[in-house]
Amino acid sequence: MTRTFFNRRDGELYVENLSVAEIARREGTPLFIYSQTALRVAYDALDKAFAAVPHTICFAIKSNMNLAVVRTLVERGAGIDVTSGGELFRALQAGADPQKIVYSGVGKTDGEVDEALDAGIRFFNLESRAELGCVNARAEARGVVANITFRVNPDVDPKTHPYISTGLKNSKFGIPITEAREAYAEAKTLNSVKVVGVDCHIGSQLTDAQPFHDALLRVRALVEDLRNAGHEIQYLDCGGGLGVVYNDEEPPSPKEYARAILDAVGDLGCEIVLEPGRWITANAGIMVAEVVYEKNNGGKTYTIVDGAMTDLLRPALYQAYQHIEPVGPARGEERLVDIVGPVCESGDFLAKERPFPPVEKGDLIAVFSAGAYGFSMSSNYNGRRRAAEVLVRDERYSVVRAREGYEDLIRGENLGEGLDEELAE
């Protein structure tokens, strides 16, 4: 997805039919703004690309867990991919159909497994044989049967950032595909789990379709073996990972992505499950921040804004490129600047050595492609209140998460006076 729903009118940035500056002036900064239409269009494009086969698109809620965002997708028919009890709770709160929820994640706790069993999710993507034992025991104790797949690592290089590569044989995720047959055989001996499929997620922000194809060819061979061994492989969960345009990438279109997958496994008669996160949400959102100061240190210009790594961690954590523009018309010729937040970390930057026009205190900037892994990775470090989130549809918007206040920063804490009492005894 590109940034189709963010446009300029008379030099001013608009989201759908609303001025970004007007929303930001009213709601304050830093602010995440999402286009509901962009979310729908992205979801629908992916859905359409897989129309030829039975499929479920389980939105990876980790990319953007706002209830209104999730509800928007659930209303289009989306299921949800969750990785924790908290994400499961959010998915259910947003109205997701438990029968369309799949549960991935490398360290599901007993309590989380119980919650998912009680909710009646579609299946668990198991990431180890130890987890198989856990899910079987928890299901047995509840008198139910848990549907499971194993997440297998096909050992294909997704050619993306090492922090978001997951399908190599030495990664912490899933089980090596070479050990899958044994794991499935063990599952068959257990009474409270039922094998329903195979799962594979090789990484995130893939800009080439080939690794998806290569990985699934290996999975295909596994599916055939498993069927020969008497397993019913109804679902093939192909994970997420389809890349988006942050800068000048040329990721596959939904059609090309679908072709890469379906050419490999389309004729197996499985229902295809997908777990896209970024592709649906990244370019449906921006983060707006306000310029606080500009300063020159040792010949370097720093544009200091009120949005920081605590709001949008990707540049600090992955040296990721996020496109940034002034919200209003450019005030002059571009020069090279570092755009940084106020947090006490040298790693707190949004852009380094970036050509950017001159700005003045109070100007607004828009950080693009911030709808995925933006707010969902935010924190309160440095005593920062987390940003507000706004959802726009056409000429209307709704604040779908209130800006945090100081009280939110100390919720659940106390002064530890209980300790004083014990000492006094």
CB of 184 to ligand LLP, least distance (A): 19
CA-to-CA distance for 247 and 393, rounded, in angstroms?
25
Cβ–Cβ < 8 Å for 144, 191: no
- Please give the Cα distance from 337 to 302 (Å, whole number): 6
Q: How far is the CB of 366 from ligand LLP (least distance, A)?
A: 18
Select 21 or 106, whichever has its Cβ closest to ligand LLP: 106
CB of 83 to ligand LLP, least distance (A): 7
Q: How far apart are CA 259 and CA 310, in angstroms?
A: 38
Q: Which is nearer to ligand LLP, 156 or 364 (CB)?
A: 156
| Residues pairing with 293 in the sheet | 304
Burial class (CB in 10 A: 0-12, 13-18, 19+), 21: middle
Please choose, from the candidates 5, 6, 35, the residue with its C-alpha nearest in 3D space to the C-alpha of residue 397. 35
Is the CB of 66 or the CB of 205 nearer to ligand LLP?
205
* Residue 150 or 279 having the CB closest to ligand LLP: 279
Where on the chain is the footprint of ligand LLP (CB under 6 A)? 60, 63, 81, 104, 164, 201, 204-205, 239-242, 275-279, 314, 318, 373
Instruction: Tell me which residue has tokens 């994640």.
Output: 105
134 is catalytic: no
What are residue 194's DSSP bridge partners?
147
Report the DSSP pairing between strands 335-340 and 388-393.
Answer: unpaired
CB atoms within 10 A of CB 143: 7
Q: How far is the CB of 342 from ligand LLP (least distance, A)?
A: 22
> Which neighbouring-strand residues pair with 79?
58
Q: DSSP letters along 211-240, please?
A: HHHHHHHHHHHHHHHHHHTT----EEE---
Minimum CB–partner distance for residue 154 and ligand LLP (Å): 14
Name which of 41 and 164 has its Cβ closer to ligand LLP.
Answer: 164
d(CA 5, CA 391) in angstroms, rounded, equals 12
Residue positions annotated with a catalytic role: 344
